[in-house]
């Protein structure tokens, strides 16, 4: 069991998921949070990561760092996605094992699941089919990270490394650039700009029919802290982490249009890829440990949009 003053290394603390822990960990009573910026510690540098772990000796690690992005960026830079994520995961897990880390959380991705997969997707469906081609390099890297956790646990006889698979995360500190961000944050940017410029319509990629499950980063942080506090993990790994409700991209776009005040027409460019037809996780095993999501999509969208507008105002 972690004690309040035990050092917890939070990798990726400035990103979408990592930044949620900067509030959640102190609120849960943990006072010794260790962070490093990308400039201070290059996680693809094996020697630098090993030296950092040897000096800091964290008792727990939350690995929220990695190369992430939407369909466009996955298509344009697949080598960068697989290369960076493989090195980051391998370097941190090796250093954690060598330096006595007692609990490590690694984030997988729902894109690891087969493109055509029974819904909701149970953890047992992993590796039963081919992942969505538009994010294949990222999916392969994340599958490798999950298996690396399981392999260390098996070889060294203790469940210390826990792979968690969150579905589409959103919240403050997201990437709102349509060229690099995921669908929810990109849509917030698109509709906000449409309102600001008085645009009569917004054209979006695909058909709008694919369905996605979204989970607020504060819910992810709460679930992970619950896992860090468990004496023993009694469920098989990895562990799905989802809200339990999915929405079509069309429904999401309409909800974001309402939040941002856009009243124009939403058009769909069906010549662009849709991605996987549906991605809904079966989070039964995590719920069996007592966790429940606390943020509805409507509330989460309003909060995220308010944060986005505040950031724009501060940048002026």
Among this protein's residues, is 305 annotated catalytic?
no
* Active-site pick, 138, 152, 247, 308: 138
Q: Reduce the secondary structure of the chain to three states and give it as a string.
A: CCCCCCCEEEECCCCHHHHHHHHHHHHCCCCCEECCCCCCCCCCCHHHHHHHHHHHCCCEEEECCCCCCCHHHHHHCHHHHHHHHHHHHHHHHHHHHHCCCCEEEEECCHHHCECCCCCCECHHHCCCCCECHHHHHHHHHHHHHHHHHHHHHHHHCCCCEEEEEECEEECCCCCCCCCCCCHHHHHHHHHHHHHHHCCCEEEEECCCCCEEEEEEHHHHHHHHHHHHHCCCCCCCCCEEECCCCEEEHHHHHHHHHHHHCCCCEEEEECCCCCCCCEECECCHHHHCCCCCCCCCHHHHHHHHHHHHHHHHHHHC
Whose CA is closest to 139, among 170, 161, 117, 171? 117
Rg of the chain over all Cα atoms, to the nearest angstrom: 19
Residues carrying an active site annotation:
138
């Amino acid at each position: 069991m972690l004690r309040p003053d035990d050092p917890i290394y939070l990798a990726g603390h400035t990103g979408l998921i990592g930044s949620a822990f900067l509030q959640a960990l102190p609120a849960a009573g943990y006072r010794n949070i260790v962070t490093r910026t990308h400039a201070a510690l290059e996680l693809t540098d094996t020697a630098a990561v090993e030296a950092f772990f040897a000096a800091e000796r964290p008792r727990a690690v939350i690995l929220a760092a990695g190369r992430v992005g939407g369909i466009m960026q996955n298509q344009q830079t697949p080598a960068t996605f697989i290369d960076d994520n493989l090195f980051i995961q391998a370097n941190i897990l090796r250093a954690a094992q060598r330096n006595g880390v007692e609990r490590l959380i690694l984030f997988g991705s729902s894109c690891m699941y087969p493109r055509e997969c029974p819904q909701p997707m149970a953890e047992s469906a992993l590796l039963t089919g081919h992942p969505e081609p538009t994010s294949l390099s990222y999916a392969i890297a994340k599958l490798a990270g999950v298996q690396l956790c399981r392999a260390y646990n098996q070889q060294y006889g203790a469940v210390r490394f826990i792979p968690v698979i969150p579905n589409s995360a959103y919240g403050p500190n997201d990437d709102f650039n349509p060229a690099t961000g995921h669908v929810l944050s990109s849509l917030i940017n698109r509709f906000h700009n449409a309102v600001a410029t008085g645009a009569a319509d917004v054209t979006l990629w695909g058909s709008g029919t694919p369905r996605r499950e979204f989970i607020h980063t504060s819910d992810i942080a709460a679930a992970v802290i619950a896992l860090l506090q468990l004496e023993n993990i009694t469920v098989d790994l990895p562990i799905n982490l989802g809200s339990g409700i999915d929405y079509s991209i069309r429904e999401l776009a309409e909800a974001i249009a309402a939040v941002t005040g856009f009243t124009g027409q939403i058009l769909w460019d069906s010549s662009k890829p849709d991605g996987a037809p549906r991605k809904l996780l079966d989070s039964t095993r995590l719920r069996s440990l007592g966790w429940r999501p606390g943020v509805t999509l409507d509330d989460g969208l309003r909060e995220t949009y308010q944060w986005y507008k505040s950031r724009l105002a501060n940048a002026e």
